[in-house]
Amino acid sequence: MSDSRKKRVGPIPDQVFPANTPVVAQGIERPQQSGRLLNRPSEPLPKLSPCTSQKKAIGKYGSLLTEFEKNEILEYSEIWFLGLKAMKTQKHDYANGYYKMVAHDHIAYRYEVLGVMGEGSFGQVLRCRDHKTNEIVAIKILRRIKDQIDMTEVKILKFLLKKEKDTSTRTVQMKDDFIFRKHLCITFEILGSNLYDILDQQHRQGFSMKLIRRYARSMLKCLLVLHDEKIIHGDLKPDNILAIDKEHSDIKVADFGCSCYENEQVRNYIGARWYRAPELLIKHPYGTAIDMWSFGCVLAELHTGGPIFTGRNELDQLSCIMEVLGMPPIDDRKKTEFWTAFIAHNSKHKTVAKPKSRPLDSILGHSDPDFLDFVRSCLTWDPKMRMTPQEAMQHKWITGGYRTHVPHRTHKQPKDSTGEPS
């Protein structure tokens, strides 16, 4: 494998970037902030009394508000924070639809912006103080696109929040949602680092099998709920799996910005390329099984320390998969625009994927044979042959040998284009 495939090559869509990320990321230009966490001005300013009315706020602090805020504040019945020490701006959006983050300014006259936790093509996540509850929270401010607001993510998060009362969903918990200056804002609980960053901190050495199994069980609890409700997460990857504490004792699944119901597939973007199921690559119909493919990719990465498939584009990604799984089944190799492009690409660049030149067992090393079978059952060309979350919960690697009432399905090996098992 070339060095370019041992690390992330180029930007990954919807990746959450750390605070020191360069201004231009993912091909989208965002003006540089003067500082992620700005110091407060030294001069003292009057302190806002807890929960005042908008009229009292204007009467007492009107000279410190912008003309826009003097009108905007009338829409809010409770005023908890005014951001009086912030370097306020008259324009609240950049030309490309991103909200202009101003340190120590207010969000909805309640939250104080403390800094940027992450950025991506979706928008940005801010670390804020809730002056009503005195909690530190994360607020996801979605990028504004032609004044269109998609509430699918909120709809799914509200369902998961309600479901949490009956069973643990192992998903990040939404606290609130609201519209602020034409941006959809979603407030979340604060969690720990994501698994991508934790792997980096550990120099990409991978985790112990015991810890991977614990994380896998938690991810499966989430996928079980989603599968039963026919909800597609659509972007499962280490970046979107967060540790619940500094000890990394367990995880929760986050970022449902690409999620949708199976019968409401309206997303233009589904899944980061390296974790994208083959049915997405070859433009075939897809369902919740794409999350199990991504799940298998994540487990392999947690074990080895690096992504298992690292294509530079969709065509190269397909070649990477072929090197591990062999040629796709005959039924799937329909004449589509993608396959035509794939064949043309290989002919032009004189590159041909060598099927099974990177066997899965050699990638995972001398690991637990049950773990190898588990990952292999997630990574199948045919989504119908792919293990479901319910079956995964009964797999020997998860249960440690103890089986409950749901039997584990035997996965048949589909034949490739040569007629041999793939």
Active site residues: 235
- Its sign, for the CA torsion 276, 278, 279, 282, is positive
Length of the chain (residues): 422
C-beta pairs of 61-69 under 8 Å, 24+ apart in sequence: 66/90
DSSP code of residue 142: E
CA distance 174 to 156: 10
366 by Cβ neighbours in 10 Å (0-12 / 13-18 / 19+) ranks as exposed
CA distance 187 to 136: 10
CA distance 70 to 68: 6
Q: Residues 175, 160: contact at Cβ < 8 Å?
A: no
- Its sign, for the CA torsion 173, 175, 177, 183, is negative
CA distance 356 to 360: 8
177 by Cβ neighbours in 10 Å (0-12 / 13-18 / 19+) ranks as middle
CB atoms within 10 A of CB 286: 21
Residues 6+ apart with CB under 8 A from 336: 282, 283, 284
Write out the H or E segment, with its range, that includes residue 120.
strand 111-120
Instruction: Please provide the distance, in angstroms rounded to a whole number, between the alpha carbons at the two ends of the chain.
Output: 21
What does 389-401 look like in DSSP terms, one character per residue? HHHHHTSHHHHTT
CA distance 192 to 241: 10
